[in-house]
Amino acid sequence: MRFRIGDFSKLVKLPVKTLRYYEEAGIFPPDHVDPDTGYRYYSAGQIPVINEIILLREIGFSISELDYILRKGMLREGLLDMMAVKELEINQAIRDSMQKLKTIQTLKRAIQEEASASISQYKITVRALEDMPAVYLAAELDDYSRQGHLWEELLVLLEKNRVRTLPGCYTIYSGAVMEPDDSQPLQVEIVKPVAARPALRAEDRLRYRVFPGWAQAACLVHKGEHKSARNSYKALIDWIEEHRFVIAGNPRELYLENDLTTSNPMDYVTEIQIPIEASEARRR
């Protein structure tokens, strides 16, 4: 049984223009074209083929991929391999979309918190920071919150070098955290304190140094995921300016609760430490 293109369009629930497009692309020609009238006719035997094309298009196969599959008469095993690759691509797209959704939710919370934030909502303390012997990894990041792979590398190197560490995990930033220059990567050091200088393998990236202490540092405890810390930084910097101090050194973050101790980013606890000294106006 043959069907004119309009009737076939209704049967397979595809617009006529889509059938014409598939014909032009060479992936689904009519079963017969009347040489006198030019009418296109499709057969009942073509319905399973067009149904498969519809499904493959729905899961993301391109016209060129379909052309390759149909022209080569690809075996089912080959098609399954291509579908497995497509499945991986779709799963990655889902993960990317979920990450974008989380970023949107974080930004929404940050905007809502910023609208109602004031310095009085934060408990800010001033205390001395002691010299800190430590091992560290130095790196460049385009987003200060993307440190996970560095901590994984650090833990591997600590074990490989048999380093005995003290409690505490730090990140120390070089340059602005609140208003980073998008054209320049952010310089960071991932830090673990130690009691004594360890013997380190020269070929590894792990290094040792004593991070200098400061007579005064403004400190604030931030609760929640790392991406939402900007409001806490803003409150701390506003407090420093309001009390006529100036920033004297690189900001530090001390992780009191992180992904090693909790699976919920909203339960993270981070102490932000910014070294300060009195401004000229405060000294007068």
Question: Phi then psi for 161, rounded to 5 degrees?
Answer: -90, 0
Which pTM does this prediction carry?
0.59
What pLDDT is stored for residue 252 in this prediction? 95
What residues of the chain score a pLDDT lower than 50? none
Give the tens place of pLDDT for each residue, 154-197: 999 999 999 999 999 999 988 655 555 555 678 899 999 999 99
Structure tokens at 207: 């290094």
> How far, in Å, CA of 259 to CA of 225, rounded?
10
How large a percentage of the chain has pLDDT more than 90? 52
Structure tokens at 53: 């094309």
> How far, in Å, CA of 8 to CA of 16, rounded?
9
Count of C-beta atoms within a 10 Å radius of residue 275: 21
What pLDDT is stored for residue 228 in this prediction? 79
What pLDDT is stored for residue 76 in this prediction? 65
> How far, in Å, CA of 110 to CA of 231, rounded?
7
How large a percentage of the chain has pLDDT more than 70? 89
What pLDDT is stored for residue 222 in this prediction? 92
Domains parsed from the chain with CATH numbers: 2-74 (1.10.1660.10), 119-283 (3.20.80.10)
CA quadruple 145, 146, 151, 154: dihedral positive or negative? negative
Contact assessment for residue 227 and residue 106, using Cβ atoms and an 8 Å cutoff: yes
What pLDDT is stored for residue 74 in this prediction? 60
> How far, in Å, CA of 243 to CA of 221, rounded?
19
Burial of 153 (0-12, 13-18, 19+ CB in 10 A): middle
